[in-house]
Every structure is written in structure tokens, then in C-alpha cells.
């Protein structure tokens, strides 16, 4: 065994073998460093992408806004260009508080009507029909015993 060690030491003392060994070790070390660098860059990019996804998901609203009597009154007063502190048309009741299409009952001069608020900012009164042709306004008026005096 001692003989084998001497042979290896004798071969390593040769300058040509030493130079080849240094070149081989440098190439091997370079490959390892490049591999670690690629892994590090990939991990940083992956975690930044995950962080961006999480931030984007956190920005999305988890709940739908609820229409209150005060906000409905503000929408109606703004649409009819009335004084918000002393409106002529008053929101009497919120029937359906859907975040896309809300149904409300308004009262003006003791006359009640069905009104619609779309996406919390657009207000209109009039007939609304569903895809089957059913008049939703008439149905809700009948359900809440509202007299259509003007028609």
C-alpha cells in the first residue's frame, strides 16, 4: 500500500500531470459554479413570480360592495340632479342588493316606482325585461303592491 502512494505522489510531481489536474479541477469547479448560479437565478425568479401572483391576488376584492340606503340615495340624487341634502325623490326600500343590478323602490310626491341601479353608479326607472321577455318591473310592482298610476 505504501508503494501505491509513492507511485501516485511520483506521478503528481510531474508538471504535465499537475497542470492537467489543475485544468480539470478548474473546469469542474466552473461547471459547479455555473450550475449553482443558474439554480440561484431560477429560484429568485420563481419566488418573485410567486410574490407577484400573491400580490395580484391580494389586490382583488374578496367581497362585493353592499348597497346601503345612504349610498342608494346619493346615487339617485346624483342621477336626478337633486340636492343631496334635501332630495325630492327618496329611496324607500332596497329590494335586491345584487352587486351588478340592484332593485330599489323610490318615492316622489307619494308615488312609488321601481328603479334599478347598475354597478353602483347607473340609475334608471322604467321597464326591465329578462331574456324570456318577462317584465321584471311589473312583477316586482305586483309583488310589493305598487300601483302603476301613470300607465
18 pLDDT higher than 70 = yes
What single string gives the DSSP state of each residue in 7-30? HHHHHHTSHHHHHHHHHHHHHHHH
Name the pTM for this structure: 0.54
| 101-108/90-96 β-pairing | antiparallel
Q: What's the pLDDT score for residue 30?
A: 96
Per-residue model confidence as pLDDT tens digits over 93-118: 898 888 788 889 888 888 888 888 88
Q: What's the pLDDT score for residue 63?
A: 67
| Superfamily of domain 69-143, CATH level 4 | Disulphide bond isomerase, DsbC/G, N-terminal (3.10.450.70)
150 pLDDT higher than 60 = no
Q: What's the pLDDT score for residue 25?
A: 93
Q: Where are the domains of the chain?
A: 2-59, 69-143
Place of cell 312609488: 112
80 pLDDT higher than 70 = yes
Amino acid at each position: 500500500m505504501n508503494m501505491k502512494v509513492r507511485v501516485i505522489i511520483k506521478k503528481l510531481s510531474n508538471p504535465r500531470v499537475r497542470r492537467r489536474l489543475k485544468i480539470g479541477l478548474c473546469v469542474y469547479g466552473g461547471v459547479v459554479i455555473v450550475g449553482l448560479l443558474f439554480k440561484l437565478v431560477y429560484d429568485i425568479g420563481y419566488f418573485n413570480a410567486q410574490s407577484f401572483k400573491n400580490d395580484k391576488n391580494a389586490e382583488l376584492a374578496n367581497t362585493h360592495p353592499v348597497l346601503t340606503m345612504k349610498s342608494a340615495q346619493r346615487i339617485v340624487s346624483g342621477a336626478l340632479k337633486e340636492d343631496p341634502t334635501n332630495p325630492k325623490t327618496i329611496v324607500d326600500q332596497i329590494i335586491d342588493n345584487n352587486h351588478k343590478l340592484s332593485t330599489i323602490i323610490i318615492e316622489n310626491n307619494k308615488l312609488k316606482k321601481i328603479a334599478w341601479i347598475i354597478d353602483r353608479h347607473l340609475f334608471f326607472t322604467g321597464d326591465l325585461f329578462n331574456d324570456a321577455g318577462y317584465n321584471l318591473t311589473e312583477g316586482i310592482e305586483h309583488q310589493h303592491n305598487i300601483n302603476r298610476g301613470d300607465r
